[in-house]
Amino acid sequence: MAQVRPMRADARRNYERLLEVAAEAFAEHGEGASLDDIAKRAGVGTGTLYRHFPTRQALLEEAYVDRIEAIAARADEIAARLPPGDALVEWLNELGVGMIQVRGLRALLGSTVTDGSSAAATVCAGTMKAAATRLVEAAQREGTLRADVDPVDVLRLAHGVATASELADGQGKTIRRYVSLLTEGLRPGTADAES
């Protein structure tokens, strides 16, 4: 079995920079964003781009996964500095903004992401659910989140908040207000939902 060698530090920086620039370029210009321009904006040659991402689809998928993993990683960063209930609320705010930002990438990837048929969709779903589970369970142990709330409920509600905010102003400026309204209903002592 062949061993995969870790990337050199400069190759890792180039890879990460390409993903960052690609996400921005695809958001700005859609699927037709110039790969040559992406390489130029990232400060690398086109050959470097193709060495890391042999196809446009590979670059799109990896940029999407990278953004989702970054949003999920914020859960632990926020949880390290805030009490559990506050951490969940803050992460939901960031998640809402992040969902709006990756919506364009998701749309470009089409049904491979939305129907869960791609490796990218599987990775993203697992990563997000794990992050939500950690925050939800911590808030429930703290007593600031209803015991009957499931992590998937929280992710679906966050999706709804992002959609509502996007409809309201197109940029997510109302997310904090909508998350506040949502989380009030998730606190213990609120009326139990009908089954």
Choose among 8, 146, 11: nearest CA to 88.
146
**In angstroms, rounded to a whole number, what is the distance separating the alpha carbons of residues 94 and 193?**
26
Q: Report which residue type is found at 189.
A: G
With beta carbons less than 8 A apart as the criterion, state whether 103 and 71 touch. no
Distance of CA 98 to the CA centre of its chain: 5
**In angstroms, rounded to a whole number, what is the distance separating the alpha carbons of residues 101 and 112?**
18
The model's pLDDT over 112-135, given as tens digits with 9 standing for 90+, comes to 445 555 666 777 788 989 999 999
**In angstroms, rounded to a whole number, what is the distance separating the alpha carbons of residues 30 and 108?**
7
The model's pLDDT over 54-73, given as tens digits with 9 standing for 90+, comes to 998 889 888 888 888 999 99
Percentage of the chain exceeding pLDDT 90: 42
Which pLDDT belongs to residue 110? 53
Which pLDDT belongs to residue 75? 96
Give mean pLDDT, residues 30-58.
91
Average pLDDT value over all residues in the chain: 83
Choose among 119, 101, 106, 105: nearest CA to 33.
105
Task: Check whether 194 has a pLDDT greater than 60.
Answer: no
The domains of the chain, with CATH numbers, are 1-54 (1.10.10.60), 57-186 (1.10.357.10)
Q: Report which residue type is found at 185.
A: G
Task: Check whether 161 has a pLDDT greater than 70.
Answer: yes
